Amino acid sequence: MNSFTFFRVDNISFNLSLHILPIYVTEGVGIRMIKKSIAFFLCFSLFILTSCSNEASPDDFPDNSIQLIVAFSPGAATDTQARIISKYASSYLGQELVIVNKPGGGGQVGWNSFSTVEADGYTLAAYNLPHIITQPLVGQTSFELDTFEPLVNWGGDPTVFAVRSDSEIKTLDDLIVAAKQSPGSLTVGNAGLFVGQHLATLLLENSADIDLEDVAYQGAADAIASLLGGHTDVVAGNLSDIYRLGSDVVPIAIATEERHPFSPDIPTFVELGYPEVIMSTDRGIAARKGTPPEIIEKLEKAFIQVLQDEDFLAEMEQAGADMLIMNREEVIADLDVRTDTYQELLESIGVID
């Protein structure tokens, strides 16, 4: 077989084998066939060359903007805080961090979508805990916990029960009494099924032996809008959201072990007699499972730098965001512990067997 090396790309040789070309040099038709065959070969080779040259190298990462999927509505706590991160991230990533909202199902819509993206580091997800652990445990989701390669955790957001400022319910005791007098009539809005706020409601029902009407929305922003619009009686929300609402709402209890420094006037469920009701929504950033280790290392380093930026921290505090900063190794260890904890919790309140 007669062949010669036509060119090389990334140590790949492209050989032109003469025996595959019909050669009829004595006829005009044959010459045209040769020209067409060579033209086809050149076009095919150019396509291969372009494909090879466009393959992302970890050394060059990132050479384009990065998307961050936020699985909740614009204006909700996760979105608000992710946008503050985005504002500062470009200084450390060298590229823009673009927020992409994909709300629905308490985060499931966005995280289901994330489970299908390329594992190249250019599409990340803002994760919420306990959501990404509990939702796969109790229902069918396209994502699993191991869909996520955690990079950093940025915050913890305790669950707060709050009512409208004109509500007849003024305290947690008022809520308990009303629920016992009329089981199933009090409506409590939350950001979605089996998110942290929903779990807090289930814990209170179990602990106080009451029956509340849980109302799951697409996200915290919708749950708050429902409360303010008079469609629900109570919201189980994030401290950061309740903090920003000011006098529009009255917080009646917070699901922390001790009173929170952001809002020290809010009593804890613990001191009110319900020590089992401890819950928060923790947030972080993850890459897709299968992302090259070199890219994960670069992303973790950049986001840790963001989370240590003094201007960033000041802006997060202004937004009522409680920081809970963990690196990748710490998050992985935390997820292992939380998985066991939440499985036991769901079993204890009869959600799973």
CATH of residue 207: 3.40.190.10
pLDDT level of residue 225 (50, 70, 90 thresholds): very high
Evaluate if residue 281 carries a pLDDT over 90: yes
Instruction: Determine contact, residues 107/267, Cβ cutoff 8 Å.
Output: no
Indicate the pLDDT class of residue 169, thresholds 50, 70 and 90. Answer: very high
* Residue 96: pLDDT over 50: yes
Rounded to a whole number of angstroms, the CA Rg of the chain reads 27
Residue 18: the pLDDT is 40
What pLDDT, on a 0 to 100 scale, did the predictor assign at position 140?
82
Are 37 and 185 found together in one domain?
A: no
Q: How high is the pLDDT of residue 328?
A: 98
Q: Is the dihedral of CA 95, 101, 107, 110 positive or negative?
A: negative
Q: Is the pLDDT of residue 5 over 50?
A: no
- pLDDT tens across 297-312, in order? 999 999 999 999 999 9
Question: How much of the chain is helix, strand and coil, in % rounded to 5?
Answer: 45, 25, 30
Residue 296 clears pLDDT 60, i.e. is over it: yes
Q: Which amino acid is at 328?
A: R
pLDDT at 45 over 60: no
For the segment 183-199, the average pLDDT, to the nearest whole number, is 94
pLDDT grade, residue 353 (50/70/90)? Answer: confident
CB-side neighbour CA atoms (13 Å) of 184: 0
**Strands (E) located in the chain:** 3-9, 12-17, 66-70, 97-101, 123-129, 148-164, 187-190, 213-216, 234-238, 249-254, 280-288, 323-326
Average predicted confidence (pLDDT) for the chain: 87
Q: Is the pLDDT of residue 101 over 70?
A: yes
Q: Which domain holds residue 227?
A: 158-254
End-to-end CA distance of the chain: 68
- Confidence band of 32 (pLDDT split at 50, 70, 90): low
pTM: 0.78
**Token digits of residue 30:** 């044959």
107 and 130 part of one domain = yes
Q: Is 330 helix (H, G, I), strand (E, B) or coil?
A: helix
* Position 16 in a domain: yes
Interior CA angle at 164 toward 159 and 170, to 5°? 80
pLDDT, residue 8, reads: 42
Lowest mean pLDDT among 14-28, 105-119, 122-136, 306-320: 14-28
Instruction: Give the Å distances, CA to CA, from 120 to 88, 246, 299.
Output: 22, 42, 11
**Mean pLDDT within 181-201:** 95
Rounded CA-CA distance 87/79 in Å is 12
The kind and range of the H/E element at 134 are: helix 131-138
Is 202 inside a domain boundary? Answer: yes
Contact present, 240 and 78 (Cβ < 8 Å)? no
User: What is the rounded distance in angstroms from the CA atom of residue 199 to the CA atom of residue 253?
Assistant: 15
pLDDT of 191 higher than 70: yes
Residue 40 forms part of a structural domain:
yes
Give the position of tokens 């913890």. 156
Q: Is the pLDDT of residue 293 over 60?
A: yes
- For residue 295, the SS3 value is helix
List the CATH number of the domain containing 93: 3.40.190.150
Q: Check pLDDT > 90 for residue 30.
A: no
Overall domain count for the chain? 3
In this structure, the answer to whether residues 339 and 191 fall within a common structural domain is: no
Whether residue 223 lies inside any domain: the answer is: yes
What is the mean pLDDT of the segment spanning 229-247? 93
